[in-house]
Amino acid sequence: MTTEMQRIVFSESMKLADLIDVNFKLLNVLSRLNISLGFGENTIKEVCERQGINLNSFLLICNIYTYDSYIPSAELLAGGDPATIVDYLHNSHAFYLEKEFVGLENNLSAMVEPCDEMQKKIVAKFFADYRTQVEKHFEYEEDVVFPYVHALVDGGRHASYSIEQFEQNHSNIDETLNDLKDILMKYLPETCDTVLRNEVLYRIYRLEEDLLKHTLIEDNVLIPMVNKLEEK
């Protein structure tokens, strides 16, 4: 992760390739915004304009994804587009559920092959419980929060709902994942393949970090943007 001492200001005139050099993990952001590689020497502004992506929203997402203590400026938030943020979050949900969880489940199954049946069941249960928690969390956002935001952007209003309800009920889903990491590191037998176990742990830590960024984008970008829309 880029440290605060190394912080580089992302701007519209920066080449997109240079942005990826600062933080290669932003490749995830590009794919979730349907930005294909092969953008040559184009700047961030040029790529966003060609893709129809709100420039301020793109910069906000990239800054949060790169810098742990980043606080969005009022100027960037004011020029951002809540619909772009929702599209990004929706595509992130699809990535987690359709790709990341499937791959992690396959890795876990292969890793616990040498374990006894009880150990296999414990690992499978912790992963299944975590996946269920995340799916419920995402389902609420997909069914309630995102349609509400789109309606606000289109000029509508729902008298019985506000973004404050989402903010108050924004649950932390990290605890079960921490328990799973503890089991994998501390309690499974040495007969488990070390390379596979490390691969699974790396994958879990990457997922945990990505989900944290996901939450920060909701808390520090989407919610303030929607608060402003509600005030109109």
The pairs formed by 136-142 with CB atoms below 8 angstroms and a separation of 24 or more are 137/171, 137/173, 138/93, 138/96, 138/97, 141/89, 141/93, 141/166, 142/90, 142/93
pLDDT digits (tens, 9 = 90+) for 111-144: 999 988 999 999 999 999 999 999 999 999 999 9
DSSP H helix total and E strand total for the chain: 13, 0
Residue 6's pLDDT is: 66
Q: Are residues 27 and 106 in the same domain?
A: no
Neighbouring C-beta atoms of residue 215, cutoff 10 Å:
17
Q: Are residues 72 and 101 in the same domain?
A: no
Residues across the chain: 232
Q: Tell which of 45, 77, 109 closes a domain.
A: 77
Q: Using 50, 70 and 90 to split pLDDT, how confident is the model at 5?
A: very low
pTM for the model stands at 0.91
CATH number at residue 23: 1.10.3910
Q: Are residues 122 and 201 in the same domain?
A: yes
Q: How far apart are CA 221 and CA 225, in angstroms?
A: 6
Count of domains for the chain: 2
Q: Tell which of 77, 96, 111 closes a domain.
A: 77
Q: Are residues 119 and 190 in the same domain?
A: yes
pLDDT digits (tens, 9 = 90+) for 172-191: 666 778 888 888 999 888 88
